[in-house]
Amino acid sequence: DTGVSQDPRHKITKRGQNVTFRCDPISEHNRLYWYRQTLGQGPEFLTYFQNEAQLEKSRLLSDRFSAERPKGSFSTLEIQRTEQGDSAMYLCASSLATATYEQYFGPGTRLTVT
Amino acid sequence: GQQLNQSPQSMFIQEGEDVSMNCTSSSIFNTWLWYKQEPGEGPVLLIALYKAGELTSNGRLTAQFGITRKDSFLNISASIPSDVGIYFCAGLFNQFYFGTGTSLTVIP
């Protein structure tokens, strides 16, 4: 399968714990995006990388959130001191820098904070 | 942030019927996209539109980029049960902004 993959698919954690999600983009794609989606809403942009550089962050990305893409391949999204309001689907997408509109999404990681 | 309004919010139709949905914004976008999302999965890109007035088809799906650049439309002809899902529009202006979705149910 050469699509975007995300791990884990589901994560249940207690409030206050830290969680980390991983995204593996399509191999030739140099742009990688993170979105958050809550029930009944469309995805909301969080941040994106071109290669290893983080080029933009949304105001939704509080200081408890951090994302990395150390070698320009896979990316991780960490949430520290999780809150119940962080419960959502976290989606990763990737694209070529020359065709930013053609974003291909992974299956998402469903986070539940209890 | 930018607000994209989709209508209708939900649709219940008989198999074989045509479907129309739209997406409007208070801001101008350079690119419009339409995605379909099924439960527990990420959105799947259906159609991308790059120029005002552009009309693009993908099988039974046809989408249009509004002349004002503030709206877009998606039509599905001769619906089938596998068309069930939530359809999202997305507009590109520096970053992507997604609509709230139209939930489609097709009754066999």
Confidence at residue A1, expressed as pLDDT on a 0 to 100 scale: 55
Write the pLDDT tens digit of every residue in B63-108: 999 999 999 999 999 999 999 999 999 998 878 899 999 999 999 9
Confidence at residue A56, expressed as pLDDT on a 0 to 100 scale: 85
Q: How confident is the model at residue B38 (pLDDT cuts 50, 70, 90)?
A: very high
Confidence at residue B96, expressed as pLDDT on a 0 to 100 scale: 85
**Weakly modelled stretches of chain A, pLDDT under 70:** 1, 99-100
Q: A24 — contact with chain B (CB < 8 Å)?
A: no
Distance (Å, whole) CA A72 – CA A76: 11
Confidence at residue A87, expressed as pLDDT on a 0 to 100 scale: 97
Distance (Å, whole) CA A47 – CA A36: 10
The closest CB to that of B41, out of A48, A93, A107, belongs to: A107
Distance (Å, whole) CA A88 – CA A45: 13
The closest CB to that of B45, out of A41, A56, A104, belongs to: A104
Confidence at residue A100, expressed as pLDDT on a 0 to 100 scale: 66
- Contact (CB<8Å) A107/B100: no
Q: Of the candidates B41, B46, B34, which has an alpha carbon nearest to the alpha carbon of residue B92?
A: B34
Q: How confident is the model at residue B1 (pLDDT cuts 50, 70, 90)?
A: low
- Contact (CB<8Å) B96/A103: yes
User: In chain A, which residue's Cα lies nearest the Cα of B89?
Assistant: A42
Write the pLDDT tens digit of every residue in A74-97: 999 999 999 999 999 999 999 988
